[in-house]
Structure 1
Amino acid sequence: MNFSNRCFSFYRATGELISSAVYLRDDNYIDGVYSQNEKKWKFENSHLQFTDIDGNVTTEFRTKIDNNKQLIFLGKFFEHDQDVWHILAENPWEYRQDNTHITNVIDTTYALLRQMNDTLGGF
């Protein structure tokens, strides 16, 4: 999958914004997230994964949604015992940095997941 020239926002599924400008570089490094948990990305078994610098998977995005050519990924964060989920949503061209974007992304994500009859496991 080609991520060149695509900018994403990265959220906790609670709606908390982690970063509004995330880039998945061609050399598999992640720009725009400054946590040690999200340094690199890769595809494993057709799933997008974020890893720490040592290659340990920290988030695995098992659900990919193509919402009118806007990519949205939903994934489980593995660093905590409780259920923690992340959303990686491609920023639309008309992106505005306000609460409207995250509300729309989360609402769209949940609606599309329900349509696909997926379980929300912990939401």
Structure 2
Amino acid sequence: MSAPENSSGQITYGDFDRVDIRVGTIVEAEVFPEARKPAYKLRIDFGPEIGIKRSSAQITVHYTPETLVGRQVLAVVNFPPRQIGPVRSEVLTLGFEDENGAIVLASVTGPVPNGRKMM
């Protein structure tokens, strides 16, 4: 899914504002053995308004399930769910590639209430 672009390749603030990025806390992380590439199955708590959502993430290089539980992460919560093997991924967990292509999670630097929207 790509955002509409104007002639200069830039998106408008309105385009960006439609992407609902929220903070949530990982409450469960486990190995996803059925995934084609190494990945984890995550359950992320986005607070009472959104609830707990599932995601899968290829973040096995820098993280273990034990180090993920309790970590706050950023995710897009308004994409349609996507079936990834036996897992229905309900949110897109955000991250960046490091110099070797492994994913480093996007996160906040201090505690934020679950479900808060990125502004």
TM-score range relative to shorter protein? under 0.3
Q: Does 1 or 2 have the higher relative contact order (CA < 8 Å, sep 6+)?
A: 2
TM-score of the two chains, using structure 2 as the length reference: 0.28
**Bigger Rg over Cα:** 2
